[in-house]
Amino acid sequence: MKLKKPNDKQAKSASQGYVSLESTKAIEDLQWTKYANMNGHGFAAEDANALNEKLRGWKPEKVGISNEKDGPDRIVKGRMIQTKYYKCASETVEAAFSKETGLYRYNNQIIEVPKDQYDEALQLMAEKIKEGKIPGITDPRDAQKLIKKGDVTYKQAKNIAKAGNIDSLIFDVKSQSVVAFKATGISFIIQYAMCKINGMSNKEALRFTVVSSLKTGAIALGTGVLTQQLLRTSFGRGFAAFATTISKKAIDAAYHTELGKTVVHKMASKLLGKKLAGAAAKNAVEKAARTNIVTVTVIAVVTTVPDFFKAMVRKRISWQQFTKNTTVNMVGLAGGIVGGAVLGSVVPVVGTFIGGLIGGIAGSLGTKKVLDQFIKDDAEKMFEIAQEAIADLAMDYMLSEEEFEKVVEHIRNKVTPTWLETIYQIGLRSDSDARGARYAFAYQDLEPIFEEIVKSRPRITTPGILAIKLQYFRVSMYLFFQYIKARLARLLRLKSELSTLG
């Protein structure tokens, strides 16, 4: 019997929701909103140098956002650093001294200068020490204790602040590489588990999973880089301003409820790694939501283009199929944004899934009896809430088609007219968010059914590291030889054409 592969598109679309959040966090760690300023290259230099420190395994603290007068831009391994990037070394060093007194401005801090200005900056700082411009330091040789060589040059910093050049692209690849690495790993685990659940052998599952996880990582890296490039353009900044208006209204509306306020506080604390509340929390989430809107838009465009090409140009799929595929992507992305990180959406066919779900519930409950107890609008809302809770549970527990069929059998016994009426009454008891309370009740009350189903799953052990490395090597070599084959074929054709002309 030929085994059916898991639905790769749905799993990828769901993991992309997680990617959108991680990419947003990476972008929000940058000061991209200031890159367009006259001195935007200084902020770009600070971000680039801090990023390189992160990639070395250090943990730079960006304390400069507090805008404390003469305070450090960041603290790395206990050292307070002030970044100065001007067009020549003399201007760079001079910026560290007060115009009024002529004395060194940054007590207990070191000055980070462009990589190409370091040697000259050392000499200039030594001269300042000789002139007595640095209180407490008299030995010119101590200039090296005050000057730090940056990882990027002045020109590179200028380029990083702009879109469409090698330096900014390299910087973006570096900043999004961690996100891509995480996405590849998460995709590998989810896909491998689903392959095994669907009955694949270890060898088949490994082969399929390696290729799929590489695709997910590539999409994560590509969309992250595209988003950061876009945000450096005037169009991107305009779109971000529009997204800010949308996110602010949405966060303000959510913040008026107790549930919304709690969610905002928790999201802000998770984003910045410290406890936040009130206006500070709202501001952090609004900024993240703004960036996430841009990120999700880029991901949506990138992941939709192939299907659009198939429908519009190659006529390989219908427009109905295009709409369906796009919807699957959007559901996965929305799940990732709302849930924090949806790691899988593997219900085989969404149309069959939703249609069968509604039909099964409606048949078991008896629509007429329900409508007799509620007004029509209320009945429709209860159906929607129950459907949403079950669909989310199916995605959260990553059910296979066979597992979901078992769940539906249990749901038919669980969901009765009395149970549906209970959901309705739960909403009446809520003082603020009636729909949220109903959804929470339905989700929690049905969750034990899903937990019981997944308990019967066989224990899955991922392949050893050597097997994984070997499979990645095989895929890489296959792609390399395909490239060589294509190049040779092209050369032979060209040779044949030349001989014909001769």
3-state DSSP helix/strand/coil percent for the chain, to nearest 5?
Answer: 70, 5, 25
Q: Note the pLDDT tens digit of each residue in 380-391.
A: 667 778 888 888
Query: How far, rounded to the nearest angstrom, does the alpha carbon of residue 192 sit from its chain's CA centroid?
Result: 21
Give the pLDDT of residue 263: 76
Angle, helices 278-312 vs 319-339, to 10°: value is 160
Q: Where are the domains of the chain?
A: 8-21+174-317, 36-160, 350-454, 468-502
149 forms bridges with which residues in the sheet?
Answer: 113
Give the pLDDT of residue 468: 82
Sheet holding 109-113, edge to edge: 74-76, 79-83, 109-113, 147-149
Cα atoms in the 13 Å half-sphere on the side-chain side of 296: 23
The segments of the chain whose pLDDT lies below 70 read 1-18, 65-67, 271, 303-381, 501-502
Give the pLDDT of residue 501: 64
As a whole number of angstroms, the distance between CA 403 and CA 393 comes to 12
As a whole number of angstroms, the distance between CA 100 and CA 94 comes to 12
Please state, as a whole number, how many other Cβ atoms lie within 10 Å of the Cβ of residue 161.
Answer: 26
As a whole number of angstroms, the distance between CA 8 and CA 472 comes to 19
* Among the listed residues 281, 272, 216, 237, the one whose alpha carbon sits nearest the alpha carbon of residue 24: 272
As a whole number of angstroms, the distance between CA 58 and CA 454 comes to 40
Angle (CA) 369-372-376 rounded to 5° is 110
**What does residue 97 show for φ and ψ, rounded to 5 degrees?**
-120, 145
Angle, helices 434-454 vs 401-414, to 10°: value is 120
As a whole number of angstroms, the distance between CA 459 and CA 309 comes to 41
Q: What is the DSSP string of 423-434?
A: HHHHHHH-SS-H
Structure tokens, 369 = 């009896």
* Among the listed residues 164, 166, 173, the one whose alpha carbon sits nearest the alpha carbon of residue 221: 173
Torsional sign, CA 46, 48, 52, 58: positive
Give the pLDDT of residue 217: 86
